[in-house]
Structure 1
């Protein structure tokens, strides 16, 4: 081999090496140059914590609404106020609409197929177009008959076995999502195979996405360690194969019903009709169809569970006001309907306060990532930063919500300044706002109105007839957080209310036969 050729190879290797390390060196130099301009933050970070949102809240209290963390090689920004989140994620959405790299949840578990975690680009735009067309406000209103029918079933379940209210909430949420997505309802949440498999998949996903939990997120090279030496990879890779099998099987069933002409209008049918024009593979379509379950079941059922928790703790402070409004507007001979909601401002305020008081998406949903350097109020935010807007910090910020742990629906009736249109931030911001927000908010509002109309909900009693106190801070770990089990008293308001619930349930069951599996 000639000296010239050897020199050329050496030069090429050197260039390749420089190509790998130069961006890193440039990034480190830039951080060093702007160190005095970075947002304030702690010198060390905590890792492996089960509830990082509690720590984030402490940081926001100590350092302010914009906090800087250096988590491995990745700059991380923690936002602690609605205004800061709005200014960056909404007003400057062009810079903050991408996603950080999710090695555990996005790559190892999902093979880059989940649009929720996809970086800004062609794949995400196709995914977003599908989700928006399937769940935008006008389209989501076509799902209201299903939500109303399943809600009537929920009222009957609460009437018959109130102690199992958590199971009933999960069945309602799962059945709405599965019916809207695949055209088949869920009659028993504990035995339904679709619910069980999707639940297992979502549990693995949410546990994989907790910031700071896995070292591989800070040190990506760990991804390539063989599974035999990395037990944290084994279950994730097994779950990925289960997910692929599940999504393909569900779409095969949809295709079979479509071919037979027995498939009701549903999101999966819409996906098949749009697949060719968007150039998406069968697996991409399968994962897209699985999005509503992951995004909607736990959030809807968890929010309604938080409502019951609020009733058990604060019920006497707000339930009589809501029931007085319901009796005046709706009367006592029928359940509230979607058409009643515009005339029920206090009941809707109860729903908004539920979403504010104990947000299920405590971390603010999936983190954003910045695609360009930025300066906010004199603070330098580097390109490639992971941006987290934890709702536990934002919704409990005393500046926006005085006495934030108190449940006060009046917050959403009084005049006050808050960025956005909802008065809370439960559905996110900007181009990454939750596409199912209209479906989700409709479920929460309608069911809260009907529960308050039909039942007296409050603290359970002990053997001495005393109220059993509940812990309003006892919530689960994970990417989403819901109340841990708690006792609650749920009793019908009168025999007349029982009669209405039973009558409307019978009518609902007849209409729901079209969606039986």
Structure 2
């Protein structure tokens, strides 16, 4: 005769199995209504089909499934966009649905301590940060940075002429240095800013890698985050990077405060934040608790369920043979017409001819620089 304890255990197991079966049936029903996509493994889906360069795999799948397709990344429904029109339809024209962000455990929580605007969930704190960035990077301030841009261009051209084999590293360092000058009002020769620009470039590369789908399993199995640091090398190293980066940026802010006290600084993002810190309420804060504003959506007859991770494949979009038949060639003049003027921009690209700076409410403010 079965004991009461065994009967209770069997009842609990039966309930769990029924719940799991219902979940499988519901997920299958939802998946059938989503855009088509490659088949995957049970439970894990397509997570192990992603390479270390997922944008290349996305282009392969685009050729087979179309410009919009879906994936299952260990239970996380995911939609990948590969053309300008679809990206504009969803991310621009329906930005009220697609303005939030996934959690980004490694990039947002470990590497940057929930303090980077690009990774914040859509909510009050994001809006305050966005407003501060807009005031520092509007058209008026971008005009005041013209001489800075010209000087940076000369340094960049000189560096490329000296050693063009390192062009990628040179471009990253130049971009980071220019942005740092605009944010912290530091000349390129001050405080070893070129070296700091190199460090910022390395930080940006770490963040980009951390955001790649499939790079860290903790993004799909958050319970891994609770492992002790000694058992999680990625977590231990991430905290160390965050500590070093924080010291670097605090040093830059201290330099701006000293210049402000001496009356020697010009308007920049750092001065705006320091002067209006009370208005923006941007002091040390815990992670924003604003919920994602996703909801079920339909596009071209396909369901994009609430909570779906939406990825736009910028690499593939900017190499669309429809608009860039010779995309492998370095040919800036492709953006000019026969008269040497800017040609008609590609539709749905914010008149830029590409989709590099994002979209909707997440459109990059530094573009004005």
Match 1:426 to one of 335, 339, 356: 356
Q: Contact (CA 8 Å) 1:372, 1:384: kept in 2 or not?
A: yes
* Match among 264, 267, 270 for residue 268 of structure 1: 270
Map 1:235-384; keep pairs closer than 5 Å: 235-281=237-283, 371-384=294-307
- TM-aligned CA distance change 1:32 to 1:381, over 3 Å: same
Is residue 143 from structure 1 mapped to residue 145 from structure 2 by the alignment? yes
Task: Classify 1:31/1:192 alpha carbon distance in 2 versus 1 (closer, same or farther; 3 Å).
Answer: same
1:169 to 1:72, Cα distance in 2 relative to 1, 3 A: closer
In structure 2, distance between residues paired with 1:179 and 1:417:
32
Normalized against structure 2, the TM-score is what? 0.80
* 1:4-403 correspondence to structure 2 within 5 Å: 31-44=27-40, 45-47=46-48, 49-155=51-157, 161=162, 166=167, 169=171, 172-187=174-189, 192-281=194-283, 371-403=294-326
Q: TM-score, normalised by structure 1?
A: 0.59
Counterpart for residue 340 of structure 2 = none
Q: Is the 8 A contact 2:91 2:98 kept in 1?
A: yes
CA distance in 1, matches of 2:160, 2:330: 23
Show CA shifts across 1:447-502 (max 9, x none): xxxxxxxxxxxxxxxxxxxxxxxxxxxxxxxxxxxxxxxxxxxxxxxxxxxxxxxx
- Larger mean Cα displacement after TM superposition, 246-255 or 230-239: 246-255
**Residues 183 and 277 (structure 1), Cα distance of their counterparts in 2 relative to 1, 3 Å cut:** same
1:257-307 CA-partner distances (Å, limit 9, x unpaired): 2112222332211111121101110589xxxxxxxxxxxxxxxxxxxxxxx
Q: In 2, distance between residues paired with 1:163 and 1:170?
A: 13
Residue in structure 1 matching 2:328, options 405, 411, 414: 405
Label 1:143 to 1:228 Cα distance change in 2 as closer, same or farther (>3 A). Answer: same
2-side partners of 1:155 and 1:112: how far apart? 36
SS of the aligned residue for 2:274 comes to: helix
SS of 2:72's equivalent in the other structure is strand
8 Å contact kept, 1:109–1:239: yes
Query: 1:398-436, CA deviations, whole angstroms, 9 ceiling, x for partnerless residues?
Result: 333345435553455355752232222221211111111
Give, in whole Å, the separation in 1 of the partners of 2:55 and 2:269: 33
- What are the Cα deviations for residues 100-140 of structure 1, in whole angstroms up to 9, with x where unaligned? 11011111222211111011111111111111111123321
What CA deviation, in whole Å up to 9, does each residue of 1:320-378 have, x standing for no partner? xxxxxxxxxxxxxxxxxxxxxxxxxxxxxxxxxxxxxxxxxxxxxxxxx8701000000
Within the candidate set 433, 436, 450, 2:366 is matched to: 436
Provide the rounded CA distance (Å) in 2 between the counterparts of 1:427 and 1:130. 18
Note the residue ranges of structure 2 that are not aligned, 5 or more in a row. 1-11, 41-45, 287-291, 338-342
Q: Secondary structure of the equivalent of 1:436?
A: helix
Q: Note the aligned Cα RMSD (angstroms).
A: 3.0
Gaps of 5+ in 1: 1-13, 285-368, 440-517
Provide closer, same or farther for how the CA distance between residues 145 and 196 of structure 1 changes in structure 2, counting only shifts above 3 A.
closer
User: SS at 1:422's partner residue?
Assistant: coil
Distance in 2 (CA, whole Å) between partners of 1:123 and 1:25 is: 40
- Give the Cα separation in 2 of the matches to 1:370 and 1:412: 40
How many residue pairs get aligned? The number is 334
The alpha-carbon distance between structure 1 residues 190 and 26, as it changes in their structure 2 partners (threshold 3 A), is farther
- Structure 2 counterpart of 1:470: none
8 Å Cα contact 1:135-1:438 kept in structure 2? yes
Equivalent pair of 2:294/2:307 in contact (CA under 8 Å): yes
DSSP-derived class of the 2:322 partner:
coil
